[in-house]
Structure 1
Amino acid sequence: MANPTLKGHRALILTTVPVPSGLIDAIRDQFPDLEIITRVAPWGVSEVGGGFYDKDWKDITLLLTPTVLPTIEQAPRIQFAQLISAGANHVLSHPFFSNTKVPFCSANGIHGPQITEWIILTYLSFNRHMTTYWDAQKEGQWKLKPGNPAISEDVVGKRIGILGYGSIGRQTARVAKALGMEVFAYTLSPKATPESRRDDSYAPRGLGDPDGSLPSKWFSGGSRQDVHTFLASGLDLLVVATPLTSQTRQLLAREEFEQLSKSGRTYVANISRGEVIHTDDLVDALNNGLISGAALDVTDPEPLPDGHPLWSARNVTLTPHISASTGSYYPRLLHLFRMNLERLSKGEPLINRVDRDKGY
């Protein structure tokens, strides 16, 4: 039954930082009968705080949350939960997710533009030896010292392989293609038909690859051999964008880096989760030249402790899980939330609904 103003609903909106009031006002303007409660809940906390008590959960029907989830008994009326993250791995074992049928939706797609910028930034910086020039600048040197690379490379004609062709991967493919790169895509399930290659998850208007037309070659399958075939396809840049599940945990280890070593030039960018890569094997692959370098916005462990060998590994760039952190994060997230509220009010399917069987 349609409920265009969401009359009778109460939404709890939890954000990791205070958001501009205009973003909340836009929700109120669209749904004038919706009661909204806002609180700040930093990533990793399990309780709301700020004068919101356990007893207050009983009237909440709609939830936007980083990591806070109620018990099933506390919140019997919740009809929809919107996560602020692209991944859902942090809620998979929570009883409110695993033991209910409440629809959960990820924020997959809101991060695509900014994470793509980070991927391309780090790869271009590596190819153009920017860190070498920055070091020379600090020393006031116009010419590089003997032994430093004098010739850099552009990316035209280079091959990017995207492991996990979701919203982030599709936006990365769009930008890489514009730079003249060839795109290979890897997905768990086969994408043999044009219809199967479509993606209906969230993406800012005009971005991404919704019809799946950008890859010149598709790879798929759940076996190690399937992954190895993809990794041995002559990749210049491997983008790790797969969700973290039991199937993808430590998906890339020694054998996989040996497959990449066949080209002798693969650069690895991980914006997924640190646990997708076996860290010790990654350090060995970097230091022994199995891969040309790596850009890591996520690590295992995370945060990376002082003195960890990954800090000093050869040709590695490390950032503290900030590739998605721009001023556009919450405007896009709350736009997605409004879109899902509108669909809920009309009884339509939600965007980015998490598949409980797949875990993403």
Structure 2
Amino acid sequence: MGDISPRREHLLVLIPYAVDDILDELKKKFPYVKITVHAQQRVDRKVISDPIAEDLWKDITILVTLFTLPPDPSFVPNLHLIHVLSAGVDRLYSSPFWNETDVALTNSSGVHGPQIAEWVILQILSHSHRQKLLLELQRQHVWGSNKVPREQQDGVGQTFGVLGYGAIGRQAARAAHALGFDVIAFTATPKKTPESKRDHGYIVPRTGDPDGSIPSAWYSGLDKASLHEFLSQKIDVLLVSVPLTPETTHLLAKPEFEILGENNAFIINVARGKVLEQNDLIAALKEYSESGGIGGATAGAGGLRGAALDVTDPEPLPADSELWDLENVVVTPHVSARGSSNVQRSFQIVEQNLTRIAEGKSLLNEVSRRKGY
């Protein structure tokens, strides 16, 4: 650590994963950090653990957690940093730690970009190459080459719109650009300078768009007019990857789907289900099928050609939802971010921040309470 004289830290790991090897390396690099692990388990979609002693709560200075928090800020007088293993922090909005303290919050944005981007490309290719139809033909033992349309359009020259150009959007853009898509990006705030276009968060090596050079055009704004300008760019595939905040709740509804429907866009949502007004989405998807759509942009057809949804509203998606049975829809159970490297990458953020704390530098991936992400 050179000339650094770090203060004593006590880090509590409160997650349902085994991380002994990761913590061994952390202890070697930061011998002044006391690390305590309190085991958790997943049971029926819930995370459970034994109660934590008050003395432990009182002593910790850093908490690494999936989403379990202390009962109240008064329990943790020495806590100055909470690191969450998720990219989204909408679970924290109602917490007193969000609303009543200045405890620093960091997230795992950037960790999940590679696997989510792979899921995104999977859905684009599955839709354009009629994978549902091909699998059904195989199931029926039918050599159905005459049933597969010859006019299957590849990605070259199509427009890939990224609504929310964060870590996930950047890696998906990188992959789509490699397939020949023209990428355009939408962000909440303007990105008019090279520095503003850079990614200042955690980046998995050899991924993403670190300098923001991939999009051919950038759009921005917090108003509907700015959003509609972006959506009017004849988008073929729209990736929704914005964080869920009060401002982005039902960001896309009937007016937005009507604009996208002019080019029969394909929508991919890896954000949160509530970003889309789900009933309006269903109506737009049904309109396409009922007006003669044949899989891509179709003259005379309205609505959306299809959707791939890894998130829904609510979750789990009720068994009687129309989404399950729409032929032009793929629903997956919020699994696109799952990967064997997630926890290790998230602790790389913890490692970098322990160094930054010791050096008196700003934190990596610090969450803005004002922005909500």
Verify: 1:338 aligned to 2:339, yes or no.
no
Q: State which drifts further: 159-168 or 2-11.
A: 2-11
What amino acid is the match of 1:216?
A: S
SS of 1:238's equivalent in the other structure is strand
Q: Match for residue 324 of structure 1? A: 337
Secondary structure (helix, strand or coil) at the match of 1:195 reads helix
2-side partners of 1:310 and 1:209: how far apart?
Answer: 33
SS at match of 1:291: coil
Q: Could you give the per-residue CA deviations for residues 206-258 of structure 1, whole angstroms, max 9, x where no partner exists? A: 21111111100111111111111111111111000011111000000001000
Please report the RMSD computed on the Cα atoms of aligned residues, expressed in angstroms. 2.0
Establish whether residue 109 from structure 1 lines up as the match of residue 110 from structure 2.
yes
Give the corresponding residue for 1:128. 129
Partner AA of 1:225 in structure 2: A
Shift, 1:153, TM fit: 2.3
Amino acid at match of 2:278: T
Q: TM-score, normalised by structure 1?
A: 0.94
The letter of the residue matching 1:31 is F
- 2:256 alignment partner in structure 1: 256
Instruction: Please give the alpha-carbon distance, in whole angstroms, between the structure 1 residues aligned to 2:137 and 2:19.
Output: 42
Given residue 198 of structure 1, which amino acid in structure 2 is its aligned partner? R
Specify the alignment match of 2:308 in structure 1.
295
The answer on 1:243 being equivalent to 2:243 is: yes
CA contact (8 A) 2:10 2:59 kept: yes
1:143 has 2:144 as partner: yes
Shift of 1:33: 2.5
1:20-54, Cα deviation, whole Å (9 max, x unpaired):
421121111111232212222549868x7335234
Q: Which amino acid aligns with 1:8?
A: R
Within 2, Cα distance between the matches of 1:273 and 1:5? 42
| Contact residue 7 and residue 358 of structure 2 kept, 8 A | no
- What CA distance in whole angstroms lies between the structure 2 residues aligned with 1:62 and 1:6? 14
Q: Quick one: structure 1 residues 67 and 347, their matched pair in 2 at CA, closer, same or farther if it must change by over 3 Å?
A: same
CA distance in 2, matches of 1:129, 1:143: 12
TM-superposed CA distance for 1:150, in Å, is 4.1
Any idea what the Cα deviations from partners look like across 1:257-305, whole Å, max 9, x if unmatched? 00101112x1100000000000111111111111110000100011101
Which amino acid is the alignment partner of residue 50 of structure 1? D
Structure 1 window deviating more from structure 2 (212-221 vs 3-12): it is: 3-12
CA distance in 2, matches of 1:59, 1:224: 47
Question: Once the 2 structures are TM-superposed, how far is the Cα of residue 180 of structure 1 from its aligned partner?
Answer: 1.0
Alignment of 1:166-177 (within 5 A): 166-177=166-177
For residues 87-102 of structure 1, what are the structure 2 equivalents within 5 Å? 87-102=88-103
Q: CA 1:6–1:26 in 2, change beyond 3 Å: closer, same or farther?
A: farther
Matches within 5 A, 1:72-221: 72-144=73-145, 146=147, 148-221=148-221
Q: Whole-Å Cα distance in 2 between the matches of residues 141 and 45 of structure 1?
A: 43
Q: TM-score, normalised by structure 2?
A: 0.91
Q: CA deviation at 1:78?
A: 0.7
Question: Mapping of 1:56-67 within 5 angstroms?
Answer: 56-67=56-67
Q: Aligned equivalents of 1:238 and 1:324: distance in 2?
A: 18
In structure 1, what is the Cα distance between the partners aligned to 2:242 and 2:68? 24
| 8 Å contact from structure 2 (residues 81, 103) kept in 1 | yes
CA contact (8 A) 2:60 2:79 kept: yes
Task: Report the secondary structure of 1:353's partner residue.
Answer: coil
Residue 298 of structure 2 corresponds to none
Q: How big is the shift at 1:65? A: 1.0
Gap change, CA 1:5 and 1:236, over 3 Å in 2: farther
How many residue pairs end up in the alignment? Answer: 356
Match in the other structure for 1:24 = 23
Structure 1, unpaired ranges of 5+: none
Contact kept in structure 1, 2:253 and 2:276, CA below 8 Å: yes
**Matched residue type, 1:280:** N
* Structure 1 CA distance for aligned equivalents of residues 14 and 5 of structure 2: 21
User: Closer, same or farther in 2 for the Cα pair 1:3/1:302, shift >3 Å?
Assistant: farther
Question: Shift in Å at residue 332 of structure 1?
Answer: 0.9
Distance in 2 between residues matched to 1:6 and 1:320, nearest whole Å: 43
Counterpart CA distance in 1 for 2:355 and 2:246 is: 33
Residues of 2 paired with 1:64 and 1:294: CA distance? 35
Counterpart residue identity of residue 359, structure 2:
K
Which stretch has the larger CA shift, 30-39 or 71-80? 30-39
Letter paired with 1:67: F
Q: Please give the alpha-carbon distance, in whole angstroms, between the structure 2 residues aligned to 1:222 and 1:51.
A: 43
For 1:175 and 1:357, how far apart are their aligned partners in 2?
31
Distance 1:73 1:42, change over 3 A: farther
Task: Tell me, in whole angstroms, the C-alpha distance in 1 between the residues paired with 2:114 and 2:349.
Answer: 15
Specify the alignment match of 1:284 in structure 2. Answer: 283
SS in 2 for 1:196: helix
Q: Which amino acid aligns with 2:305?
A: S
Q: Identity rate of aligned residues, in percent?
A: 39
The one-letter amino acid of 1:23's match is I
Structure 2 spans left out of the alignment, 5+ residues: 289-302
Counterpart CA distance in 2 for 1:293 and 1:202 is 32
Aligned-partner SS, 2:333: coil
Contact 2:170 2:209 in 1 (8 A): yes
Following TM superposition, where does structure 1 have runs of at least 4 consecutive aligned residues deviating by more than 4 angstroms? Answer: 2-7, 41-46
Match of 2:294 in 1: none
